Structure 1
Amino acid sequence: MNASRITTLLVVSLLLVSAVPAVAATGSAGSASTATTTDVGAHALASAQTQTTCTFPVSATDATGTEVTLDERPERVTTLNPSAAQTMWEIGGESQVVGVTQYASYLDGADAKTNVSGSGFGASVEKVVGTSPDLVLAPNTTSTETVRSLRDAGLTVFHFSTATTIEDVREKTTLIGQLTGNCEGAAEANAWMMANVETAREATADGEDVRVLYPLGGGYVAGTDTYIDAMLSVSGGANVAAERNLTGYPQVNSEVLLELAPEYLVVTESSSYLLGQEPYTSMPAVEDNNTVSVDSNWMTQPAPRSVVTGVRTLTRGFHPDAAANAEFETRAEAVAAMATPTATATESQPITDSPTAVDDTPASSPTETTGPGFGVALAVLAVLGSALLARRER
């Protein structure tokens, strides 16, 4: 078994995506929306245009149940996963970021930040402390022990919970904007994201959803109640995992995979090798050449640009005719519409028209993933890692 396949199987155990607030920020900075609906419609588009003015102090309760308070705007922010880093870039907070993990390297300018990655998965406590941050944005995969160690070192840490919907991404973006003093940028990023989501929904509303599967390798697939499932859904795809009530990221045997018989397969640079293997080669999707390739950054990092780019790519792959007539908005158009709600969108521009500094076509690289809890993920990793390495040594 080659190294890329071992890596694919290992990251499956960490693939629950991260970074949504447990409770929205409150205090003088105002309250973020706490809507729990997973429907992404006109109401969500409107709610994307939230407060644009930040004030401090601001407080929010994180995934550990800890109330985190910032008395003033943090000048130094360290991010422990790429989705949080991407969000900081998108809301205009790049200059505040002093530390990132290795898989955020695709962001323009990330190489000038301190790499706080540890020797394995996750971040190094010593490296994070060394960045002297005013605020640490930690994904749900960060262990409670790591969070405790960082707090014992005197750092302010906000620990996020798992994102499973587009609304989660919107709320997380709003919250990060409040915590870092970038409320206007967060509102703009959300408006851009939600406008593109709504365009995808409208473009595919009259068509029949295509039956699709997102394989991860080793028999693992993306089930329902995941960020990936949400991306498939708003793009006109029906996750076949739902037909077997498969939630999260379950492991499924070849017989069940064949019975699911998806019409489309979505793959990334890390999983494209599966198209040449059974049981995938015998699926209608491969036989009919109905495969959609998406950069793994967009499918595993719940952040504004990921949603925009991922939804556009998936919609064009699933419903090319409908997508050809869809007017996906540039960020500039979405921001203009915030000020003038009745404005008519102009002809869709390439995504590179976005004023942010993030490259839309990053070099293929492994992408940091997240899980339901780092303790559980580590246990799975230990089992998978031992088995895979033993198999490799045979």
Structure 2
Amino acid sequence: MRVPRRLLAVPLLTVLAVSGCASGAPEETEAAAPSAGFPVTVTDARGEVTLDEAPQRIVSLSPSGTEILFAVGAGDQVVAADEYSDYPAEAPTTDLSGFTPSVEAISDHDPDLVVLARDAEDTATQLDELHIPVLLLPAAEDLDDTYDQMRLLGSATGHADEGAAAAEEVQGAIDEIVSDTRDQLGEADTSYYHELDAGLYSVTSDTFVGQVYSLFGLRNIADEAADTAGGYPQLSAEFVVEQDPDLIFLSYPGGDAAVADLADRPAFDTIAAVENGDVVALDPDTASRWGPRVVDFTQDVADALLAAEGRGDEDAA
């Protein structure tokens, strides 16, 4: 079930303001102005931010932030997004960089709100000096952070109800996927390896990505690395072969070609996941962004588990 893709297409809730004149005849009906309920104060990575009015010209330099803005109904207010904000299709992708933001280039879009990733704090300070409101959002460390950012961006853009509804729907979809999958599989001691790139960088269970796998009770081989490197260790080929994971997930472009390349590595054909055809090429965006499409990532993990179980049952028969 890939429910939340529709979250990015339309607002979850439509609020109409209807007023009548003294005679009782209806006046023109229109969408409620997002500025209703402002000023609002939200808390980002640097502290409290007060917005006097609902922003009408948002610049988003975070792909996850862009997806969340559309999910909470603020898509029409986004006038520019960074070069990697390629989803949904209607996102106003530009050549703006989220990694090396240019204050001048941002200012050219005349924004009344800029959404930045946590590592762009210097840019945030410069925008403050120009009196341009900024929200600095850290990378999510767990699913609760995803839900919190949906609520935060909903409140900051005049769509508090939509933000709360989006968070609730995503959380409900993930809970249902995990519950259904675990009901079918029961308790299983299944190990996995998540590969970020062909250089064998991985993630531990302490990361956002790793915690999604933990929902299913999977055992992460990267947790056993001598140096977990803050959650993103570089493993050796020998280590991966020795750990012999039951499932391998590739979180970078390449698809079937990447799967074939992994199988061709020395000794990797002896790994259970390779022998059994349980190497999965993930969508690198849904497997790395903490927006509403984390449901798709969760579903991909569930599908891989169920497929592996099905192949095991066939072999046993």
TM-score normalised by structure 1 residue count: 0.62
Partner-residue secondary structure (3-state), 1:319: helix
Letter in 1 for 2:201: Y
Q: Residue 80 of structure 1 contacts residue 116 of structure 1 at CA under 8 Å; is this kept in 2?
A: no
Range with bigger deviation, 216-225 or 245-254: 245-254
What's the C-alpha RMSD, in Å, of the aligned pairs? 2.5
Alpha carbons of 1:175 and 1:211: their partners in 2 closer, same or farther (altered >3 Å)? same
Question: How much does 1:279 deviate?
Answer: 5.7
In our comparison, the structure showing a higher alpha carbon Rg is 2
Q: 2:107 aligns with which of 129, 147, 162?
A: 129
Matched, 1:241 2:228: no
Q: Residue 103 of structure 2 contacts residue 126 of structure 2 at CA under 8 Å; is this kept in 1?
A: yes
Partner-residue secondary structure (3-state), 1:69: strand
Q: Distance in 2 between matches of 1:153 and 1:209?
A: 55
| Identical amino acids, percent of aligned pairs | 28
Partner-residue secondary structure (3-state), 2:106: helix
Give the 5 Å matches for 1:1-394.
55-65=37-47, 67-110=48-91, 113=92, 115-118=94-97, 121-142=99-120, 144-205=121-182, 206-216=186-196, 217-244=198-225, 246=228, 247-270=230-253, 272=258, 273-278=261-266, 280-304=268-292, 306-320=293-307
Partner-residue secondary structure (3-state), 1:220: coil
Q: Residue 67 of structure 2 contacts residue 87 of structure 2 at CA under 8 Å; is this kept in 1?
A: no
Alpha carbons of 1:244 and 1:250: their partners in 2 closer, same or farther (altered >3 Å)? closer
Q: Distance in 1 between matches of 2:248 and 2:281?
A: 9
Q: Distance in 1 between matches of 2:189 and 2:175?
A: 16
Q: Distance in 1 between matches of 2:240 and 2:268?
A: 8
Question: How much does 1:179 deviate?
Answer: 0.9
Partner of 2:3: none
Q: Residue 192 of structure 2 contacts residue 248 of structure 2 at CA under 8 Å; is this kept in 1?
A: yes
Letter in 1 for 2:285: N
Letter in 2 for 1:159: L
Q: Residue 199 of structure 2 contacts residue 234 of structure 2 at CA under 8 Å; is this kept in 1?
A: yes
TM-score normalised by structure 2 residue count: 0.76
Q: Any stretches of 5+ residues in structure 1 without a counterpart? A: 1-52, 324-394
Q: More relative contact order in 1 or in 2 (CA 8 Å, sep 6+)? A: 1
Q: Residue 235 of structure 1 contacts residue 318 of structure 1 at CA under 8 Å; is this kept in 2?
A: no
Give aligned pairs, total.
265
Partner-residue secondary structure (3-state), 1:60: strand
Alpha carbons of 1:71 and 1:243: their partners in 2 closer, same or farther (altered >3 Å)? same
